[in-house]
Amino acid sequence: MTVSLVGAGPGDPGLVTVRGLELVRGCDVLVYDRLVADELVEEAPADALRVAREPLSQETINELLVAYGRAGLEVVRLKGGDPFVFGRGGEEALALAEAGVPFEVVPGVSSLAAVPAAAGIPLTHRGLSSRVTVLAGHDATLDYRRLAETPGTLVVFMGLGRLDEIARGLVSNGKDPQTPAAVIASGTLPGQQIVTAPLAHVAEAAAGLESPALVVVGEVVSLQPVLRSAAAIPAIDRASGTLAASSPAR
C-alpha cells in the first residue's frame, strides 16, 4: 500500500484507531489537517516528511498524494474525524483512483457521534429520537421547511458562523422554539465547551464560542445534564445561567 487516507478522530489523540496509529508510525510522508492533534503528528518517524494541509489548496494536496504515491513512498493523509464525513476524503480517493495509485481508507471516529457522546448527548435514544439528520451549516441551499418537519436529531457541522440564521430558519418554519439545542466546541479536547439552550436562544447563548463546533438540535439534548454530570464533563448551561464544575474532557 502506498497512500492511506486515515481518520485521526475528533480531537483527543486517544481516539485514533489502532490501524491508523500503526500507519502513522511507519510512514515516509505525513500530510495532516489543522484539526489533527499534535501528539499524532509527533508519532510519525523523526525523519518522515511532514506536510501541513493548510495553506495548500485541495488540488495541490491531491497532486502531492499522487506524486508521493507514485514514488512508492508510504504516505499517510491524516484527516480530522473520519475521512469520508465532510472531509474531502472522497475527492482525494478519486484523484488517487484516477491516477492508478493504490490506496487504503482507514475510517476514523467522526465528530458526528463522538463529540455529542463526549458531551453527554446520545444521538439516538429510545422514545426520544430514532432518526439523525446531518448537514453542513454553510450549505446555502438548506430547506428549512423540510428540516423543521423532520423528526429526530439534527446535527450541524460547520454551522457556528450561521447559527442565528439556522435557528431562525427552523423556528420560522414550524420547529418548536423550545426544542433543546446544544453547541459543543472543541469536543473531546481539554478546552471543550458545551452550551445548551432552547433552539430560539441557542445562537445568543453560544456567542463567544469558537470553531470547531458542532450543533445538536433535538430532544436527546435534554439528557445532557444527567449524562454530563455522570461523565464529569465541563459545561456552561447558558439557558439556566449555571456554570458546571469545570474539569478536562479527559
Interaction site with ligand SAM (CB under 6 A): 10-11, 35, 80-82, 85-87, 110-112, 115, 157-158, 184-189, 211-214
What is the nearest approach in angstroms of ligand SAM to the Cβ of residue 47?
28
What is the nearest approach in angstroms of ligand SAM to the Cβ of residue 108?
6
Closest CA to 199 of 183, 182, 181: 181
Nearer to ligand SAM, 178 or 211 (CB): 211
User: Which is it for the CA torsion 12, 111, 192, 207, positive or negative?
Assistant: positive
Nearer to ligand SAM, 49 or 134 (CB): 134
What is the nearest approach in angstroms of ligand SAM to the Cβ of residue 187?
3
What is the nearest approach in angstroms of ligand SAM to the Cβ of residue 16?
13
Nearer to ligand SAM, 30 or 113 (CB): 113
Residue nearest to ligand SAM according to CB distances in the complex: 81
Closest CA to 12 of 249, 236, 175: 249
Q: Which residues pair with 124 in a beta bridge?
A: none
What is the nearest approach in angstroms of ligand SAM to the Cβ of residue 63?
20
C-alpha span between 128 and 180 (Å, rounded): 12
Nearer to ligand SAM, 6 or 214 (CB): 214
Query: Whats the size of the chain, residue-wise?
Result: 250
C-alpha cell at 65: 498524494
C-alpha span between 190 and 50 (Å, rounded): 25
Q: For residues 135 and 156, is the Cβ–Cβ distance under 8 A?
A: yes
Nearer to ligand SAM, 9 or 69 (CB): 9
Q: For residues 194 and 182, is the Cβ–Cβ distance under 8 A?
A: yes
